[in-house]
């Protein structure tokens, strides 16, 4: 399960990410709570700040993928994380001095998104250099486990910290924790990075974004998981927005109870991440689509739940299948791409995974404000379910396979070839 941690460079990478991400998740909770306080509980304002945070991903991430294929990913990571640390320090100063206004949060979210637009695709592509192809599935699953461990700890601690100290100290902790990946990137041994199978230097210098797009367009095995992820990422993966609105406007809870929603989602997500650590080969398209359907079904139930405790319970399997689907799709893309195109392909992956939020977040926020937070969740989940079922139908027809259901010895769906 933890085999990749035997590699020193990956161990430094993962530990730095864990420390930083705990602070990031604390900051997300504090930011959403601050927006609700400054906007008189406006779900639309939450949607706008989410859009500000992810619009740079939509605009810049493809260019970042080109940078990842042309330049030293380790240096790019250091630069992006340095910018992130300066932003967090500036925002914490505004909050602690009570000078913060709503437009400050919008601007901070946009600048933070700019840093993430560079850092995320580079970080995704950098993992293969840390561990090599044989350990790549395990390392990607551990990355998801690190992310969701932070998602468990961060919101829980943030909810208690906001209740005890207000949002200012939370932003300050985020600024301090963001230094960890900077230190660990410097400590990595460059001689141990696995940089084989790259384009020659002159070809790397001419690597173009359009070449990466053409590469994916002619690879249906890469295009299908990206298409499904684009819909689900836009319509369902907005829990940062919808759970805050659900906690405060539907169940009238405080910051600590809102943190419990996020923690329940993250507990399931951590299970989904760890369940893929034993995978050593490329996931099948059927596994990816099955997980997408399960995620959409449980998301629908969360939106329809009328009791607080029932939402908490349902968020656990929702989180499990959400990350199981995202991780399986990520592994299917990463293990199917040529190393020379990895940066550009992973930038496209980040675009459909995160860049669709600016499109969906304001609409989801508007639905939450006018029809209720629960409706915004189950509507998005049903749209995701429709996209997954359409993709399944297309794949079945394309491959000539059939979907069957078996009752004994255990009820399950399975796919058979017409041959």
Q: What are the domain boundaries of the chain?
A: 8-189, 210-399
Q: Cβ neighbours of residue 354 under 8 Å, at least 6 residues apart?
A: 54, 57, 61, 116, 120, 233
219: left (phi over 0), alpha (psi -120 to 50) or beta: beta
Could you please state the CATH topology (level 3) that the domain comprising 210-399 is classified under: Growth Hormone; Chain: A; (1.20.1250)
DSSP 161: H
CA atoms of 340 and 136, how far apart (whole Å):
16
Reported as a single tens digit per residue, the pLDDT across 158-172 is 878 887 888 888 888
Reported as a single tens digit per residue, the pLDDT across 280-338 is 778 889 999 999 999 999 999 999 988 888 988 999 999 999 989 988 898 898 888 88
Residue 358 is predicted with a pLDDT of 64
Only one residue has tokens 């906007």, namely 39
Residue 290 is predicted with a pLDDT of 93
Residue 401, strand partner residues: 417
Q: Cβ neighbours of residue 313 under 8 Å, at least 6 residues apart?
A: 264
Of 3.30.470.20, 3.40.30.10, 3.40.190.10, 1.20.1250.20, the CATH number of 8-189 is 1.20.1250.20
Joined tokens for residue 216: 């994916």
For residue 115, the surrounding DSSP H or E stretch is helix 102-131
Residue 306 is predicted with a pLDDT of 84
Residue 201 is predicted with a pLDDT of 55
Residue 355 is predicted with a pLDDT of 63
Residue 336 is predicted with a pLDDT of 84
Only one residue has tokens 């410097």, namely 186
This prediction's pTM: 0.73
Q: Do the strands 401-406 and 412-417 form a parallel or antiparallel pair, or are they unpaired?
A: antiparallel
Residue 33 is predicted with a pLDDT of 82
Residue 227 is predicted with a pLDDT of 93
Whether the bond between 409 and the residue before it is cis, its omega within 30 degrees of 0, is yes
363: left (phi over 0), alpha (psi -120 to 50) or beta: alpha
CA atoms of 286 and 294, how far apart (whole Å):
12
Q: Cβ neighbours of residue 238 under 8 Å, at least 6 residues apart?
A: 50, 357, 360, 361, 364, 376, 380
CA atoms within 13 A on the CB side of 96: 13
Splitting the chain (419 residues) into consecutive groups of 10 residues, what average pLDDT does each group show? Answer: 84 91 87 84 78 79 78 87 89 88 89 86 84 80 80 77 83 89 89 64 61 86 92 85 78 70 83 77 89 94 89 92 90 82 81 73 80 88 94 89 76 71
Q: Is the dihedral of CA 35, 39, 45, 46 positive or negative?
A: positive
Residue 325 is predicted with a pLDDT of 93
Joined tokens for residue 111: 């600048």
Joined tokens for residue 205: 């210098």
Query: Do the domains spanning 8-189 and 210-399 agree at the CATH topology level?
Result: yes
Residue 254 is predicted with a pLDDT of 66
CA atoms of 306 and 326, how far apart (whole Å):
27
């Amino acid at each position: 399960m933890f085999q990749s941690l035997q590699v020193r460079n990956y161990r430094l990478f993962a530990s730095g990410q864990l420390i930083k991400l705990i602070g990031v998740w604390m900051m997300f909770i504090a930011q959403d709570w601050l927006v609700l306080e400054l906007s008189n509980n406006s779900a639309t304002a939450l949607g706008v700040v989410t859009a500000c945070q992810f619009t740079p991903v939509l605009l810049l991430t493809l260019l970042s993928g080109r940078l990842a294929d042309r330049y030293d990913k380790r240096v790019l990571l250091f630069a992006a994380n340095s910018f992130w640390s300066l932003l967090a320090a500036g925002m914490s100063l505004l909050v602690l001095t009570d000078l913060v206004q709503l437009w400050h949060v919008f601007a901070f979210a946009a600048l933070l998104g700019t840093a993430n637009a560079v850092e995320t695709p580079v970080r995704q592509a950098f993992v293969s250099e840390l561990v090599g192809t044989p350990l790549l599935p395990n390392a990607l699953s551990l990355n998801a486990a690190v992310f969701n461990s932070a998602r468990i700890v961060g919101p829980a601690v943030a909810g208690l910290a906001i209740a005890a100290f207000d949002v200012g100290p939370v932003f300050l902790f985020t600024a301090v924790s963001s230094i960890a990946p900077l230190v660990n990137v410097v400590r990595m041994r460059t001689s141990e990075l696995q940089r084989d199978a790259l384009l020659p230097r002159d070809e790397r210098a001419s690597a173009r974004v359009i070449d990466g797009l053409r590469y994916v367009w002619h690879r249906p095995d890469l295009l299908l998981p990206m298409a499904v992820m684009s819909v689900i990422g836009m319509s369902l993966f907005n829990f940062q927005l919808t759970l805050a609105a659900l906690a405060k406007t539907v169940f009238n809870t405080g910051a600590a109870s809102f943190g419990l929603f996020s923690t329940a989602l993250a507990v399931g997500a951590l299970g989904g991440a760890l369940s893929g650590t034993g995978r050593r080969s490329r996931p099948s398209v059927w596994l990816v689509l099955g997980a997408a359907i399960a995620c959409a079904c449980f998301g629908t139930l969360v939106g329809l739940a009328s009791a607080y405790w029932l939402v908490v319970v349902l968020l656990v399997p929702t989180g499990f299948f959400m990350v199981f689907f995202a991780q399986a799709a990520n592994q299917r893309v990463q293990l199917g791409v040529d190393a020379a195109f990895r940066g550009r392909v992973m930038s496209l992956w980040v675009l459909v995974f995160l860049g669709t939020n600016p499109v969906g977040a304001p609409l989801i926020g508007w639905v939450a404000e006018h029809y209720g937070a629960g409706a915004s969740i189950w509507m998005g989940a049903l749209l995701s379910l429709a996209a997954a079922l359409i993709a399944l139908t297309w794949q079945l027809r394309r491959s000539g396979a059939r979907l069957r259901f078996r009752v004994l010895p255990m009820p399950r769906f399975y796919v058979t070839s017409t041959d």
